Every structure is written in C-alpha cells, then in structure tokens.
Structure 1
Amino acid sequence: MSEGREALSGAIAGVAGGDRAALKTVYRLTSAKLFGTIIRIVPERERAEDILQDVYVKVWRRAGRFDGSKGSPITWLCTIARNTALNELRRDGRKVEPPADTLPEVEDSDALPADEWLCAMEESQALARCLQELSGDQRRSIRLAFFEGYSYSELAKKVDVPLGTMKSWVRRGLAGLKGCLGG
C-alpha cells in the first residue's frame, strides 16, 4: 500500500472514531480531487462547493463503513462525491449540460489523461488502459454515463441510438472493463 493511500486510510479510520482532526486531514488530502469529480457533473461552482460540503458530512457519518480490503480510500470517497452530485441533479429534476466547449469530447476516441479517469493515479492508469481496449462507442458511453452523469435514456438521445443499443454498449463495456481489471 502506498504511503498516501495508507495515510488516507488511517485518517478515515480516525474519522470513524469521531476524530475531527482526522476529518481535516481527509479534507486536506482529497478536497481538490473530490471537487474535480463534482464540478464535472455539476459545473456551477457555488452549487459544486455546496455538494462538496455535503460529501464531507456523509464521510463523517459513514467513515465506519469504509473497508480498505474492498478498494482504495480515494475511490470510496470519489464514489460518494459522484453519487452525491448525481443525486443532487436528480433531486432537482434537471440535467445540467456541460459547457459547450466540452461537447466535442463525445466524438473523441483518444484516451484522456489518467487523472481524468479516476481520482487514484494507480487505478486511473489501469482504467485508462482498459478503456482503450473497448470499442469507441462503449468507451464514450461509459465515460458519459459514469463520469458525466448521463442516464441511459439521455445517452441514447444524445448519440441518437435506440435505448436498447445504449444499454448493450454500456453493459458490454463494463463486462470488458471487469475482465481487463481482473474483477
């Protein structure tokens, strides 16, 4: 286990024990990465900052649930951030479109930099490699669904394919990722 991962796991364990200083450590080590995860889904800065605060309230309440044997601490935290941002969009019943200059990425078949894929560098490199092994349609669909927060129906409409086709692309792509990542 890397030093950073170990430090973060220890801090989360401290948060689980009610240690406020440990929460400060978790915040210091992760706030920039988690904010980046949130702002890609909710590009309104003030709203994203509010969501980030909600994420750390959830971390305070749920730290005891973290199990380092099931994944890295940063992945656990990014999942909380992503789900909180997506839930906020769904609660409001609206989808925030990314700025117009990001829309061409839908057609981009090149790999994005590793830090775009996951918060943890070691996992992002493996994921980027595995994503490159998928078809372009699967790769773009997974990226938009999991990193931009689009639903199946929104994706199908966006790329003008039937809903069943979109679900199939994502399902096959996830199966391919699972096999490639050894899951």
Structure 2
Amino acid sequence: MVNATPQAKTVEQDGRTVLLQLIAEVAGGNKSAFARLYALTHAKLLGVALRILRDRALAEDILQESYVKVWRHAASYNPAIASPMTWMATIVRHGAIDALRKRQLEAVGSEDEMATVASADPDPVEEMHLARLRPKALAAFAKLPEDKRRLIMLAYLRDLSRQELSARFGVPANTVKTHLRRALLELRATMFASVEARSNGMA
C-alpha cells in the first residue's frame, strides 16, 4: 500500500481548511463564500447523486436542493463529527435516496409491487404504528388525492418541517398540521376499509 506523500497530505489539509472557513462564512450569511463553496464542491457532490440516481437531470435537481440545505444549516455544522465534504455528501446522499424512494412510490401500481418498496426510515405507516399492515397501507396511500400524497411524502419522506411546508405552500404551520392530520386519518380510514371489505368477503 502506497502512503500519501507529505505534499499530498498538505494539499488535502489546505483544502479542508478552505472548506471549513467557507462554511463558517456561509453560516454568517456570506453569499460570496457560498458561491465559492459551490464552485469547489459541486462536481464531486454531483457524482454522489449520480451514483445513486443514474439520472443527471434529477441528480442536478437534488444537488441544488442540497445546497439550499447547506445554506440553511451551515451554522449547525460540527467539524468534530465530520469533514466538510463528508457532511455535504451526506446531505446529498439523503436527498438522492429520498428522491429515488419517491420515484419508486410513484412508479409502482399494484399492491404486491408497492409492498416491495423498501424503506429504512420512518414513513406514514410507521407513524401510525401500522407497520404490520404495510402492504394495505401502501395500497391505500396510492388511492389518496395527489395533494395529500404529496404532503405526506414531503413531511415523512423528505423530512420537511411544518415551518418548511408552511413556506412551500403559503399557509400557516397550524394549517399544515391540520391538513397533514386529515391526510393521515384518510389514509387510515381507506386502509381499514380495505381490510374490512376483505374480511367480509372471506366470511
């Protein structure tokens, strides 16, 4: 195994130092620093998204969303936990995985196909403590109106806060909470109606 040369290590350390400084400036609202951070890192981070999505247009969209998150959360970055590139790559990776999962949900049609969509993260089914009824819940999810499916996906698959949803839809956070609760209740009702109908058919 060939060890990195002292010169290579110095270049790597200098690059890390530059990124640390830029993130610190971005945390203070410095747009010029943000532009430079983007210029220095976007090619590598686009590669991260492409490896997961294999769709350049979608990967570029996720990359832009990820930089918005970098801008918003730069102040919470902790260099003791991860290097700048690791931190940003994690944001991109999570966004790409969420986009891939959303595309799978929108693409599948039958109940059996929907049951095969894997998810390691909390979703609306788990939120209602109905994991054991996952296939029925996913089938019911597909029957919801588009606006309600989108709200649930944004809240639970994209992990947007009520405040972020409020800004996106232009309604108060409390209204978002009410709409989300109604969507989940409709999902629950649709799912149990399906279960009850099947039980009656077997009686």
TM-score by length of 1: 0.50
**Residue 8 of structure 1 aligns with which residue?**
19
Per the alignment, residue 70 of structure 2 pairs with: 59
Q: Which residue of 1 aligns with 2:60?
A: 49
Q: Is the 8 A contact 1:42 1:85 kept in 2?
A: yes
Larger Rg: 2
Aligned residues: 99
- Tell whether 2:38 aligns with 1:27: yes
- Residue pair 1:89, 1:95 contacting (<8 A) in 2 also: no
Matched to 1:24, the amino acid is A
Higher relative contact order (CA 8 A, sep 6+): 1
Q: Distance in 2 between matches of 1:62 and 1:90?
A: 24
Inter-partner Cα distance in structure 2 for 1:94 and 1:80 = 21
Q: Distance in 1 between matches of 2:91 and 2:13?
A: 22
Hey, which bits of structure 1, 4+ residues long, moved more than 2 A? 91-96
1:74 is the counterpart of 2:85: yes
The one-letter amino acid of 2:57's match is E
- Residue 103 of structure 1 is matched in structure 2 by none
- The 1:40–1:151 alpha-carbon spacing in structure 2 relative to 1, beyond 3 Å, is farther
Percent identity, aligned pairs only, is: 44
**In structure 2, distance between residues paired with 1:47 and 1:37:** 12
Q: Name which of 100, 107, 111 aligns with 1:89.
A: 100
Deviation at 1:151, TM superposition (A): 6.0
> Judging changes above 3 Å, is the alpha-carbon distance between structure 1 residues 9 and 44 closer, same or farther for their aligned structure 2 residues?
same
How far residue 95 of structure 1 moved from its aligned partner, in angstroms, is 9.8
Distance in 2 of aligned mates of 1:31 and 1:151: 27
What residue identity is the alignment partner of 1:51?
Answer: I
Return the alpha-carbon distance in structure 1 between the equivalents of residues 106 and 92 of structure 2: 17
Q: CA RMSD in A?
A: 2.1
CA distance in 1, matches of 2:92, 2:54: 14
SS state of the match for residue 82, structure 2?
coil
3-state SS of paired residue (1:2): helix
Q: Which runs of 5+ in 2 are unaligned?
A: 1-11, 108-117, 121-203
Q: Describe the SS at the equivalent of 2:80.
A: coil
